[in-house]
Structure 1
Amino acid sequence: MTEAAPVDPSRVTFEKIREAAVLIKGAVLETPCLPAPRLSQLTGAEVFVKYENMQVTGAFKERGALVKLSSLDEDEKKRGVIAVSAGNHAQGVAYHAGRLGIPATIVMPVLTPFVKIAATRSYGAEVVLAGNTLAEAKAEADRLAEKNNLVWVHPYDDAHVIYGQGTIGIEMLASQPDLDVLVIPVGGGGLIAGIATAAKAIKPSIEVIGVETTLYPGMWGALYGKEVRCEGATIAEGIAVRDIGILTTAVVKQTVDDILLVSESSIEQAINAYLTLQRTIAEGAGAAGLAALLSDRNRFADKKVGLVLCGGNIDPRLLSKIVVRELARDGRLVSIRIDTPDRPGILGEIATTIGDMQGNVVDVEHHRLFLNVPAKGATLDVTFEAFDRPHGERIVAALRAREFVVRYLEIGERMD
């Protein structure tokens, strides 16, 4: 961060990644890479998942952090390290710095969720809250690094960090040597640079494809020489990187076959699929690879595809919201507005009609006092569960057959 990373990609070698694999053995979990038959059925590919969400800190970042910290000399270790992060990198550095007895300062934006701040502190790091953005937090970290002579641990644009992340590629092909394609989330590029280097050395015929959100297509732009804008609120904040790495970009251009861009809705669908089909938790960045398969089924049809579920640190409230939204998209959770006369028993009639059709009412809002409701009328907002979309449509048809005026609502829509 204080010095530009070297642009010579030849520094990133398979031999260095193999040395990193030996170094981290026993200190970082060798996570399983397992077949996922239900995801295969969903996507049309033969899917295998590498579960990096099983790491102690819930994400792959531990690997690169440990390799970088282990590369420091005794004087650097004594001085201590500094990093800027609002999430997984912070926890990875803090955890392994604590294990190795290295003082660690992590600068996080003041708006970082408390759960992430608390987790980072729990590993023994000094957490400094500064600024509303990562850029503002970095400015404070630059000041502290200069003042206290601290060593930077960059989240991605560092050769040692790339070596560590590349160990995932070794493990995946050792477990599943017949993989045709690896689909890897891309933020700053450290993960895919390391994995692609290892995978191409082990199996030159393998295809390596990166995935970015459409809101942050930095590596896609670099790979194809396109001007891009990186901005906006994304559910995949772990790969929402405005400034991709210099070294990582050089490696990606030599080793990666393609970069795909995925929508926010496809990432939501992938998070939900991991939860409901695989019974595992993926954060937005962790689900990006599966989102690519869902977005372009023809490209991956009948291929053996390795996905890296790179992290599972998602806010439980956000996860629950995604589940509800996916139920609505699938037609299994239906929200409707019913205009009715204001008379006794009307709610019972509606509930009975839905129940007789085997629907399950989960929420009701009864409106009488709004000015856009007739004085002798009422409006009911009803949300109910159905088996699937056709079942929900039959329930609505049954209500309309009883001469109720019914229209569909978006989940969460309320009276003006």
Structure 2
Amino acid sequence: MENLTLMNVQEAQANIGSYIQRTPLDHSQTYSKMTNSEIYLKLENMQKTGSFKVRGAANKISKLTSLEKKYGVIASSAGNHAQGVALAASRGGIPATIVMPESAPIAKIDATRGYGANVILYGNVYDDAYEKAKEIQAVTGATFIHPFDDLDVMAGQGTIGLEILEDLPDVDTVLVPVGGGGLISGIAVAIKSLRPKVRVIGIQAAEAASMSEALRSGHPILIDTANTLADGIAVKRAGDLTFDHIKQWVDDIVTVTEDEISAAILSLMERAKSIAEGAGSVALAAALNAKVDITKQKTVLVISGGNIDVNFLAQIIERGLLTNGRSMVFRTILPDRPGNLEKLLILIAKERANVLTVEQVRYDLSVPLRYARVTMTLETLNYEHQEKVLQSIREAGYPFQKDIRH
């Protein structure tokens, strides 16, 4: 097996300078207080194309021969790698074809086309798109740009590690999102070659934990599903090269739940004023939920991307509010007489909960005659506030069912 080296990463840093921008390493007082550590956000969501992926794609494309450039490039991607390849190819005047899953966010599909690539939609997840892209490559002779299982791509991603050490030489721990493993492989090689004692820990979505399963099994395996809102790391099979590098260089891999990811997306919006996609939020999700012991350590969270569909974002915000106790749905039955709904609303107002929606239903066979079913969505401060509101409703004699959407 060929091994990625520090020299490979340093060469990549020289190769891609004109393709990328150096992203900020932002110290967060808010998250530092919340985790009893020193938290720094490596904001790759501010990278060109909105993701770190352009780094690896640019390094790979910079090494193509004249003949390879003539035949063009092809890639498979859920979105971020697609945009990186499309941008790097367009800069060099190279034809690019990208196969994307039909489930890819519309924003990523449109952005990839906007960079001049020919986009083909195929399959439900990345792995389906990958198989289709390999079929097309066999016919066209185009160079396949793998999103993670390629040394040149891994080297490009590893330049993030060099930037972290340049900006924060005394870093203790780096938390990195993991899908196929290209990002963490490159970062780990770069950082640990220079600072062996720095911990590099991978974060996966529990619903797409292909690398965790590979490490458990001793080799990459195909998992049954990769159904997660963190679509950028929804990979059903870990890479072979990346698996070997992760075994050698990475300290640990932990997982986070869908609710933890959605809450992290919402937190980044509110506390850091930063838009991150699901994959870009998993490192924060791990930090906020104590999946890794980072107490009193200088810890970098790699916010790997910010390309998220606006319509999907609305759903995530709603889910995040529910998860954090910031929103509550409950249902009750009221006698259908004038003033009864007003009494309930006054009771809720006294507890300083904000009514977002009210639905009143009379004509339903499940509703007793001369009664109405009322469903409300309330804005609350936290779970403690919710319990206080519900206690007042309970003491007033109203029957209720809480959080009916869970």
Does 2:274 align with 1:280?
Answer: yes
Does 2:71 align with 1:79?
Answer: yes
* Residue aligning to 2:18: 26
Q: Distance in 2 between matches of 1:328 and 1:180?
A: 34
Q: Distance in 1 between matches of 2:12 and 2:191?
A: 15
> What amino acid is aligned across from residue 173 of structure 1 in structure 2?
L
Structure 1 contact 217–230 (Cα < 8 Å) conserved = no
Q: Give the 3 Å change call, closer, same or farther, for CA 242–399 of structure 1 in structure 2.
A: closer
Question: More deviation in 243-252 or 317-326?
Answer: 317-326
* Residue aligning to 1:64: 56
Question: More deviation in 320-329 or 44-53?
Answer: 320-329
Q: Distance in 2 between matches of 1:248 and 1:135?
A: 16
Q: Percent identity?
A: 42
Equivalent of residue 155 in structure 1, options 143, 147, 165: 147
TM-score where L is the length of structure 2: 0.94
Q: Distance in 1 between matches of 2:388 and 2:201?
A: 43
* Residue aligning to 2:229: 235
Please give the residue correspondences for 1:78-117 in structure 2 after superposition, counting only pairs within 5 Å.
Answer: 78-117=70-109
TM-score where L is the length of structure 1: 0.92
Q: Distance in 1 between matches of 2:198 and 2:73?
A: 37
Structure 2 contact 286–292 (Cα < 8 Å) conserved = no
Report the Cα offset of residue 111 of structure 1: 3.7
> What amino acid is aligned across from residue 279 of structure 2 in structure 1?
A
> What amino acid is aligned across from residue 401 of structure 2 in structure 1?
R
Report the Cα offset of residue 100 of structure 1: 1.1
Q: Give the 3 Å change call, closer, same or farther, for CA 34–230 of structure 1 in structure 2.
A: farther
Structure 1 contact 330–389 (Cα < 8 Å) conserved = yes
What CA RMSD, in Å, does the superposition of the two structures yield over aligned residues? 1.9
* Residue aligning to 2:397: 403
Please give the residue correspondences for 1:294-309 in structure 2 after superposition, counting only pairs within 5 Å.
Answer: 294-296=288-290, 299-309=293-303
Structure 2 unaligned blocks of 5 or more: none
Report the Cα offset of residue 387 of structure 1: 3.0
Structure 1 unaligned blocks of 5 or more: 1-6
* Residue aligning to 1:13: 5
* Residue aligning to 1:180: 172
Q: Distance in 2 between matches of 1:339 and 1:40?
A: 45
> What amino acid is aligned across from residue 270 of structure 2 in structure 1?
T
Report the Cα offset of residue 233 of structure 1: 1.5
Runs of 4+ in 1 over 4 A off after TM superposition: none
Question: More deviation in 48-57 or 294-303?
Answer: 294-303
Q: Give the 3 Å change call, closer, same or farther, for CA 406–169 of structure 1 in structure 2.
A: same
Equivalent of residue 193 in structure 1, options 185, 188, 192: 185
Q: Secondary structure at the match of 1:407?
A: strand
Structure 2 contact 354–380 (Cα < 8 Å) conserved = yes
Q: Distance in 2 between matches of 1:317 and 1:28?
A: 28
Q: Distance in 1 between matches of 2:301 and 2:16?
A: 22
- Number of residue pairs matched? 404
Report the Cα offset of residue 93 of structure 1: 0.3
Q: Give the 3 Å change call, closer, same or farther, for CA 226–252 of structure 1 in structure 2.
A: closer
Question: More deviation in 229-238 or 121-130?
Answer: 229-238
Please give the residue correspondences for 1:6-405 in structure 2 after superposition, counting only pairs within 5 Å.
Answer: 7-9=1-3, 12-225=4-217, 229-296=223-290, 299-405=293-399
Q: Distance in 2 between matches of 1:141 and 1:388?
A: 47
Structure 1 contact 218–230 (Cα < 8 Å) conserved = no
Structure 2 contact 148–183 (Cα < 8 Å) conserved = yes
Q: Distance in 2 between matches of 1:293 and 1:390?
A: 23
Structure 2 contact 181–211 (Cα < 8 Å) conserved = yes
Q: Distance in 1 between matches of 2:339 and 2:53?
A: 59
Q: Give the 3 Å change call, closer, same or farther, for CA 332–300 of structure 1 in structure 2.
A: same
Structure 1 contact 354–395 (Cα < 8 Å) conserved = yes
Structure 2 contact 126–234 (Cα < 8 Å) conserved = no
Question: More deviation in 137-146 or 55-64?
Answer: 137-146
Residues 244-276 of structure 1, C-alpha deviations (whole Å, 9 max, x = no match):
111111211211111112222222222222111
Question: More deviation in 234-243 or 107-116?
Answer: 107-116
